[in-house]
Structure 1
Amino acid sequence: AALPTLNKAGSVTFISAVSAQIAAPGVAGIGAINGMLLTVAPILAVELKPLRVNVVAPGVIDTPWWDFLPDEQRRAVFAEYAGKTPVGRIGRAEDVAEAIAFLVSNGFMT
């Protein structure tokens, strides 16, 4: 519905999540949606060109979403995930914002 109003020199950036790539109880619905975003973004990039289409799937990010875990358990989960990443830490909201800002501002990335 918004397509006619979008600037053809602009971009659309979707936000996905690691739930698209993990098998964890309780994430079937959100995992399916996030998996769809990872699948549809490159297709839309071709179909809607020259409009740029991107998707950011940042992994584990320290946000209030994790507040359902007690502090000690959250720290343990974050430490486990951090140990599996090349940078040795989990992400911050600022990391995701910087990635999105780059994609929106770079006229070549799609």
Structure 2
Amino acid sequence: MTGSITYTSGINAYRPNGSNTIVAAANGALASLAYGLAIELAPVRVNVISPGWVDTSLWDQLGMDKEAAFAELAERLPARRIGTPDDIAQAFLSVMRNGFITGTVLDVDGGHRLLT
């Protein structure tokens, strides 16, 4: 059997904010799970996509000033912009199509995890 399993993690794995510790722990655990399963299930490939902030309709439901928050974060990000759903879709397609990527966490966060 061959193929690919791809999990979705998130920036909280690397940048917990103190109010989402359980989510941060679960996201971090996905990396370890993928590493182990990549060995255990080989040749099935197992990877994780870890998005940063992505402009989706979810943000509209949080009662925050999305535009101001996105502008502030985009200014600090090395990529100088917030992610799009297409950015994340491209990452998933990359790891699913490339038969030599396994046991990898692909950070698709515009460099968010690098911020101090």
Q: Distance in 1 between matches of 2:5 and 2:59?
A: 27
Q: Distance in 1 between matches of 2:69 and 2:18?
A: 16
Gaps of 5+ in 2: 103-116
In the TM superposition, residue 89 of structure 1 has moved relative to its aligned partner by 0.4
Higher helix share: 1
In the TM superposition, residue 25 of structure 1 has moved relative to its aligned partner by 4.0
Name the structure, 1 or 2, with higher relative contact order (CA <8 Å, separation 6+).
2
> Max radius of gyration: which structure?
1
Matched residue, 1:17: 10
Runs of 4+ with deviation above 3 angstroms: none
Matched residue, 1:5: none
Matched residue, 1:89: 81
Higher strand share: 2
The alignment covers a number of residue pairs equal to: 101
What is the RMSD of the two structures over their aligned residues, measured on CA atoms? 1.5
| TM-score for the superposition, normalised by structure 1 | 0.82
Matched residue, 1:53: 46
In the TM superposition, residue 82 of structure 1 has moved relative to its aligned partner by 1.4
Gaps of 5+ in 1: 1-7
